[in-house]
Structure 1
């Protein structure tokens, strides 16, 4: 009887457990999770803060009971204290009873996810500084949102951007702080982030960009002051949302990792050690726009990698196709979507790529209403392969990112993308769909 130990059970862990049991229903699959819940969709936290969630219980798509019915042995509220890869043992402690035990395993699956980046800044341990990652954080944020008159959000990536928007919509005074000089700077280029920043200003959000936080200071009146290298911002509380790091200390030094600790996996989700697999935020992904391993913590990556663990855990059978990190976000009335490399992302990686921008209405002028779409396409000037795209409009343009994601994965050139047979119907688009139009502009550049 093969025994599998799965450490961590959010997205990658849930899908690894179900896929292993589907492929091997007679195996013993032990799932270890520190929290009392599994499968929490943390991407819904900001929406819950803004009262846009029908039922917070629906922010979970699975449960310990459901995994038990599938055949897993669940160890909830259990902390894994030690993993010995060479001896193939997992030591763990029941957080309720304090009991400790050891489980020998044949296969180990590391799906421990990620942890919020919490730099050693003076005062960061203040009770007025809130994280935004798990269910407990979500509950606390929702409770604070009911009474707080002001908040400082530190970090203008996806999480911080959404929180700032939702807080402002419920009447909370918001200051959005980031060390970079633009909001969503790692996700979109300036022609799009300029539009987003104007929306924040229109809704009264104070943008403190290009400011590095140096300290948090509690005040006698119960507020907190966020000190930066350019000034101070005081509010009822602060939210720290500056990114994530792999939660892989349990196996650090026992398997090969990137410098940040992400476990390097091959195309079959195997680590550098036999019988040790990893998936999700704890692992690397193959980033197709560069062709190299990268660290991109996204639920979509975690789900696909988790599924592959079950298909490959006995014999390598199905290869990982890689990721383009396609994603989208809604900020006020703006829909933003992207896939692959931005010009800024390529510049940070020292890559030579080209980009072109196009703004045009998404459907014909004779329609009673239409709206402009900003499209940005990036490509390799040598082989002309598509490397990425970004889209922004007040209409839903999210599907365009999926189109480009497929183009990148299929190694389309800009010339090929410009000649794809896209539909035309006045309710939906122009005679030349804006994805094709921006590709045509790139092909002629």
Structure 2
């Protein structure tokens, strides 16, 4: 069996390693246009902020490791075309510019995503950067050394973490987003208010509800960001407004969402026989609503890449879907969420209810105790839990992993009230925060 893998970050690496275990006699070739694999982009802000000292630790595999396993590892090779009818691909060696064809029995497409680059006047000025891969990390580190005024465009996870890192490095930081709140996709207002205040208290400028109209420059370098409401000085700008799937190679050949994300079934199969896909180039099954959605997360990519390998020859292991579970730490606050926020439930036209619990996470007789805010969104009629969020100075984020399982298994808010959780004063109260949410629900 001849297996060809296109792209090798999280999903690709997982697919290759597991395919090698399951099919030791298969011929596996991977084509990757970069010279590295398995880079954890979530570590960019950690390195910028000095938390991670050595960026080499942000790689968990390497071309050398794959080659040592017997994988035909083709770095700096760009796939130019895929012919799924004849099971052929056209490839360019980026070092020699040589073009050649290859064939496959099974094709695994793990081409990932790329930052959305808005078509705005001045976008090509120097010192306007993206934040996605290892090359971006190095450029951000180098350019930010001498920058005094840094503007981050985009208030999702990547943007928020970079704002914190730059502020802690003593920079004047402005955060711009067209939404009225930061992290609006992941958290409701009760939670984002806390983080916004933390930024404002540290001197970060929040330009929310503003749209960037143009970038102005001086001597070819960006000097100012102009929005529909104001102007902001900038020596350095980081664009992180979202991602789009890298799927142009398969356009018109397999089923896709409107944004180009490949639709795969529960066995990671595309609509074309013997063509599989996984990771940020794909849609996922979103359990709270049952729909296909685009949720680019490393966790989804690793699971999907592993499942591709398991289902490559025979459909054996189903993908059970995702809740879009994620977490973030900003200053002293530990935050996590899963499933639908109240705002998204409202957008979807769902008849929902919410319950919010604010309580100290462990007994007040302990030497220290911190307050936590926990929120659950549930369907009014069925009482089925659809989403949950938590914020606290104590790290209680693992409770959101529990809530992910709760949503996965379609539990109700009433069942949550009486789930068996342990009690130990070091960690919690006799009634766990999750229990309290169930007990306090309407």
Secondary structure at the aligned position of 1:430 is classed as coil
Partner of 2:432: 433
Question: In the alignment, is the contact (CA less than 8 A) between 2:126 and 2:220 conserved in 1?
Answer: no
- Could you tell me how far 1:220 is from its partner in structure 2? 4.3
* Structure 2 partner of 1:389: 388
Look up the match of 2:98: 99
Structure 1 residue 348 displacement after superposition: 2.6
1:270 aligns with 2:266: no
Aligned partners of 1:107, 1:379: CA distance in 2, in Å?
42
Once residues 349 and 82 of structure 1 are traced to their aligned partners in structure 2, the CA distance between those partners, rounded to angstroms, is: 38
2:199 aligned partner: 200
Superposition pairs for residues 120-139 of structure 1, below 5 Å? 120-139=119-138
Two-structure CA RMSD over aligned residues (Å): 1.1
| Distance in structure 2 (CA, Å) of the matches to 1:294 and 1:354 | 23
In the other structure, the counterpart of 1:230 is 229
Cα separation, 1, equivalents of 2:59 and 2:92: 25
Separation (CA, whole Å) in 2 of partners of 1:46 and 1:312: 35
Structure-to-structure mapping, 1:341-360, within 5 angstroms: 341-360=340-359
Paired residues of 1:357 and 1:376 also in contact (CA < 8 A): yes
Return the offset for 1:70: 2.1
Equivalent residue number for residue 2 of structure 2: 3
In 2, Cα distance between the equivalents of 1:227 and 1:433? Answer: 48
1:213-228 map, 5 Å: 213-220=212-219, 222-228=221-227
- Cα offset, 1:221, TM superposition: 9.1
SS of residue matched to 1:215:
strand
> What's 2:412 paired with?
413
- SS of alignment partner, residue 52 of structure 2: coil
Task: Identify unmatched segments of 5+ residues in structure 2.
Answer: none
Partner of 2:13: 14
CA distance in 1, matches of 2:422, 2:209: 43
Q: Secondary structure at the match of 1:14?
A: helix
The SS at the match of 2:176 is strand
Rounded to whole Å, the distance in 2 between the matches of 1:284 and 1:184 is: 21
Give 3-state SS (helix, strand or coil) of 2:399's partner: helix
Correspondence 1:248-327 to 2 at 5 A: 248-327=247-326
* Greater mean deviation of Cα atoms: 65-74 or 130-139: 65-74
Per the alignment, residue 160 of structure 2 pairs with 161
Deviation at 1:347, TM superposition (A): 2.1
In structure 2, the residue matched to 1:33 is: 32
Instruction: Give ranges in structure 1 of 5+ residues lacking alignment.
Output: none
Between the two proteins, the alignment pairs up a number of residues equal to 442
CA-CA distance at 1:351 after TM superposition = 2.5
1:145-184 paired onto structure 2 within 5 Å: 145-184=144-183
Secondary structure of the structure 2 residue equivalent to 1:374: strand
- Report whether the alignment pairs 1:380 with 2:379: yes
Structure-1-length-normalised TM-score = 0.98
